[in-house]
Amino acid sequence: MKQIKLNNGELVSALGQGTWHMGENSAEFNREVAALRLGLDLGMNLIDTAELYADAELVVAEAIKGRRADAFIVSKVLPSNASYQGTITACERSLKRLQIECLDMYLLHWPGLTPVEETLEVFQTLVEAGKIRHYGVSNFDYYETQLACQQPGGKAIATNQLLYNLNKRGIEWDLLPWCRKQGVPVMAYSPLDEGRLQHPVLNIIAQRHQATAAQVALAWLLQQDSVIAIPKAVKPEHIKQNAAAAELVLSAQDLHEIEQAFPAPTQAQPLHVY
């Protein structure tokens, strides 16, 4: 499995697992747990969750029982909880739900009313207390990311989690190049655009590689520098296909055809978010 280097030199899997909408239906609990465990077995050790995602953290807790060392756990604090004391309380809640003592990564889910410098200050406090190992931001645009990185503690921001896929390439104009220059990997959520990536070119390329269109779209992301993809999947066949996409090498011709079908941005765009 390809690995991405964080700004402190630690390596994480370039292909992780998302948990958005997991835990919302109790009847799916065991199936979702099994899905995350299968992903871990296949090398997708980064698991992304958040306090926002209903009871997804409970699903993750069950999935990593007995194999905490196999997983790199990412969670997020809501902006409404991102004050100094609010972040501490939210982190403790997440740790309790996840049944772990320390988060590998803790993110501010999106910019809110609390000044980012206050949240960064408490992130540093949580690192010193051994409650989190790394911290970062999510859904921060170009200017918000620059501002955050200029604050005390900002140089330790380890990732910006963003909506990024073939349909939504706006960050390539300014934000993604800037993050690469700073050594801050981008964590791409909804890398398959919630199933909206429909184009004949993807099918043509997929046939060349005896793959699926979704695998081609995921491989396109995984071939980029400093990008971590976190697709969410529950069906075993989809999880196996995601893992196999990490081994799919797109040719120059493939990449040219993708560029023609999904053009890169030609000017700055508002940040896409879900």
Measure the CA–CA gap between 116 and 246, rounded to whole angstroms. 35
**What fold, for 3-198+227-235?**
TIM Barrel (3.20.20)
Could you confirm whether 53 is annotated as catalytic?
yes
Where do the domains of the chain lie?
3-198+227-235
| Per-residue pLDDT tens over the stretch 212-230 | 999 999 999 999 999 999 9
Q: Percentage helix, strand, coil, to 5, in the chain? A: 45, 15, 40
Q: What is the pTM of this model?
A: 0.97
**Does 109 carry a binding-site annotation?**
yes
Handedness of CA 13, 17, 20, 26 (dihedral sign): negative
Closest CA to 97 of 58, 44, 155, 152: 58
**What local confidence, expressed as pLDDT, does residue 213 receive?**
97
Query: In sequence order, what are the beta bridge partners of 11?
Result: 5
Question: How far, CA to CA in Å, does 4 sit from each of 180, 195, 253?
Answer: 12, 25, 25
| Per-residue pLDDT tens over the stretch 62-88 | 999 999 999 999 999 999 999 999 999
| Per-residue pLDDT tens over the stretch 102-141 | 999 999 999 999 999 999 999 999 999 999 999 999 999 9
